[in-house]
Amino acid sequence: MKKQIEQSLLTLSQKPGVYLMKNKLGEIIYIGKAKNLKNRVSQYFLRPQAGRVAAMVFEVEDFATIITKNEKEAFILEMNLIKEHYPRFNILLKDDKHYPYIALRKKKSPVLKITRNDLDKNFFYFGPFPTSTHAYEIINLLNKIFPLQKCKVLPKIPCLYYHLGQCLA
């Protein structure tokens, strides 16, 4: 193990956060998140690795960490950093469409929906969410609190949801 990495491992925090693996040119080649930065980053260098991970570890000359308040914040930061830097060893999060967002229409009557598509300037976006189940749970809760329109096209007469008190029509 390289001396610089060995020294850095000793001072790692046990808090949640994001780690950035860098090559000899200082380029970020991998970004990851962890519940416990010390445990996760140490695993790369203290345990034997194989395949893609071994190739990445072989190239790592240095790493940096960013401590976050919790795991959820680490997840969001990791995704945003991957979008910004496109590290070549990150293959899972490069496709934004993989993660669902909740979209709230800005104009007309507000509508909540789940999307994995490109972002539209006519909507506010919340997320990403690890699974669509999480996003649907939040939408169901919001629909109970705020009876928003559920119809894709506004009907001329109030819909069934209006009569059930679940839509403002």
pLDDT of amino acid 61: 93
pLDDT of amino acid 31: 96
For 28-43, write each residue's pLDDT tens digit.
999 999 999 999 999 9
pLDDT of amino acid 155: 64
Question: Could you give the residue ranges of the DSSP H alpha helices within 62-116?
Answer: 71-85
pLDDT of amino acid 167: 75
> Is the bond leading into 128 cis (omega within 30 degrees of zero)?
yes
What's the distance, CA 122 to chain centroid? 22
On whether the pTM is more than 0.95, the answer is no
pLDDT at 50 over 90: no
For 67-125, write each residue's pLDDT tens digit.
999 999 999 999 999 989 989 888 654 444 467 888 888 877 778 888 887 677 888 88
pLDDT of amino acid 93: 43
pLDDT greater at residue 65 or residue 160: 65
